[in-house]
Structure 1
Amino acid sequence: MKRILLTGMSGAGKSTVTRVLAARGYKAVDADGDEFSQWVEVEGDASAEVTPVDGNRDWVWREDCIQELLSTEDTDVLFVSGCAENMPKFFPQFDLIVLLSAPASVIVERLRIRTTNQYGKRPEEVARVLSLVESIEPRLRRAAGYEIDTSAPLEEVMATLLQLMQSQP
């Protein structure tokens, strides 16, 4: 089974791509939902590079649920989308990591108009996402085997992604 991680910042298009993959019959899981993620208390550290999402709470993957998902052999290809502080521990289990990215102006507009998720509606949340584009996205870029600019038309993004999937052994 091929396991493919789609990662990127809020507003990069992970959920949209995941919905399209599922509609096309692929097993595609949005790990940013309640089933696979949860709020956890984090230690306040003023020197930390990344601040928690909400006060002293951060949204992280439920490690047991993610591990069970990755261990289940019920499909030829599994797409998992998400971005969480604890996801790097799962990187070795993925055959392919794809960074979905977009210019900051596109991300800001997507956050403003999206209806499936309220995160990114407040000015401080937008500022946090833009800060993460500068601080965390470069790390994701180094971890990813490929990057797709999701400001391209959705059909082009999907064609590129499916071509990458097919090129993997």
Structure 2
Amino acid sequence: MSGTGKSTALVELGRRGHRVVDTDTDEWHEWVTRPDGSREWMWREPTIRRLLSEHRDGALFVSGTSSNQGLFYPLLDEIVLLSAPADVMLERIARRDNNPYGKSPDERALVLEHLRTVEPLLRRGATVEIDGSAPLTEVVRRLEELA
């Protein structure tokens, strides 16, 4: 979910020496045309499978969401939902300067729609939920405890 603190937590985990991968890029995703003609940005299955199956040393923290992510749950030790209240998410999105997403009224409305419709799906698949509105040191501490 945009604005929950995923990128900030990844930066701090990386600074602490952990391997981190943000999959919200073209390297890890591709546009797939569904049978109904709609298009969806989905994880590149061979690339994600290789990442998860070949990692051996230390902790690996992977961030990102995709409709085909459930295929990879058996390869993960934990599935973390980093959540935050809508007002926190929208404030963070408005302040950030490293990602243009969520600046327009339509995108902000979509963030709120995803909070209503997508977050419950993510919560059902999660093994752990962490409050992303907590201080960064607390969020990262909780993540490191899972490693």
Q: TM-score, normalised by structure 1?
A: 0.79
Query: Aligned equivalents of 1:38 and 1:148: distance in 2?
Result: 28
Alpha-carbon RMSD across the aligned residues, in angstroms, is: 1.8
Structure 1, unmatched stretches of 5+, are 1-8, 46-55
Q: Does 1:110 align with 2:92?
A: yes
Q: Is the 8 A contact 2:29 2:42 kept in 1?
A: yes
Identical columns (%): 50
Question: 1 or 2, which has the higher helix percentage?
Answer: 2
Cα distance, 1:35 vs. partner? 1.4
Cα distance, 1:39 vs. partner? 3.1
Q: Deviations over 1:105-147 (max 9, x none)?
A: 0111111121222211121111111111111111211211111
- Other-structure match for 1:89: 71
Query: Aligned equivalents of 2:123 and 2:101: distance in 1?
Result: 23
Query: Aligned equivalents of 1:90 and 1:28: distance in 2?
Result: 17
Query: Aligned equivalents of 2:54 and 2:146: distance in 1?
Result: 22
Runs of 4+ in structure 1 over 4 Å off? 42-45
Q: Is the 8 A contact 1:27 1:75 kept in 2?
A: no
Q: Does 1:17 align with 2:9?
A: yes
- Other-structure match for 2:133: 151
- Other-structure match for 2:47: 65
Query: Aligned equivalents of 2:17 and 2:84: distance in 1?
Result: 26
Query: Aligned equivalents of 1:92 and 1:124: distance in 2?
Result: 36
Q: Secondary structure at the match of 1:38?
A: strand
- Other-structure match for 2:120: 138
